[in-house]
Structure 1
Amino acid sequence: MSYLPLEQYQRKWIFTHQSMPVPAEDLEQIKPMSQMRAAQFWKENLSAQSPDAERFSSQDWPSKTNSWLHEVEWMSEWESDDEALPEAILEHIDWQDDVTVYFCYEKYNVIETKWSVFKRHWKNFLFYDDGPILLGRRRQQALWFNTNGTVKLGQHE
């Protein structure tokens, strides 16, 4: 099985929390990967050795400074009433709404969804901001969110 039913996902509450509930039609498009599939995706796209963002080695592309163009602030917009992603992120990523994206919390915790769903509910995804990286299928741009309230905008290998 490639995906877990959302009901079985350990962090399901971030999408069903009463303060920011995600509508049912979008919940259907939020697909947590099974641990085995997430680990495979992580190994192929982020790191063969490191289990999470805190332990990337110098060989892992996210650790290379030339992977990142610049860093912008996201926390103030997360805390605001504005639902939109920060403008700098939208300028960096000009994907079509139906692009498949992968929000990678750590080796065994990767969520697949559509760019449109992520844009609408990015605040839910960032209830956990412990270094997640967003990648798009067959796209070079990447986002690396940090607990300090910044996000690195860059390109992956």
Structure 2
Amino acid sequence: MRTQARLGALVPLGIGALAALAAVSMGLGSPADPGPGLWPLIVSLAMVTLSASLLLNPGADTEQEPFSRQTAVVALGALSLVAYTLLIERVGFEVMTVLLLVLWMRGFGRDSWRLSLAVAVAACAASYLLFIVALGVSLPHLVAF
């Protein structure tokens, strides 16, 4: 199990390192005038630090859970977020948000169709009203009021 824990620490370590490089390339600015890469760099460095500590000290053998069906659900959830970000500009915020929430609630959570659709549509409408209408965030969307 220690090998499994170490492998589990390598993935976020690599992602954090790549994110840190991307953050530096965006420009850090200064503390008085922060650039767009400053906060992503701080979060990436925290991720690298925590991953490195897990890599060096994985803990006792009893602390880890074995890979199971739930592990696949987490991986599919992460892949669905990647698909969401890749398709949101083509399909629109509303459609992708409803599809993602239905997938998570019905597919992963095994909620009823009625509950999944109701929550997905309500959450999408609330997000639309908050981000697009109230805050004026520019998101690719199909519905225009």
TM-score by length of 1: 0.24
Higher helix share: 2
Task: Please state which structure has a larger fraction of its residues in strand.
Answer: 1
Is the radius of gyration larger for structure 1 or structure 2?
Answer: 2
Greater relative contact order structure (CA < 8 Å, 6+ sep): 1
User: What is the TM-score when the length of structure 2 is the normalising length?
Assistant: 0.25
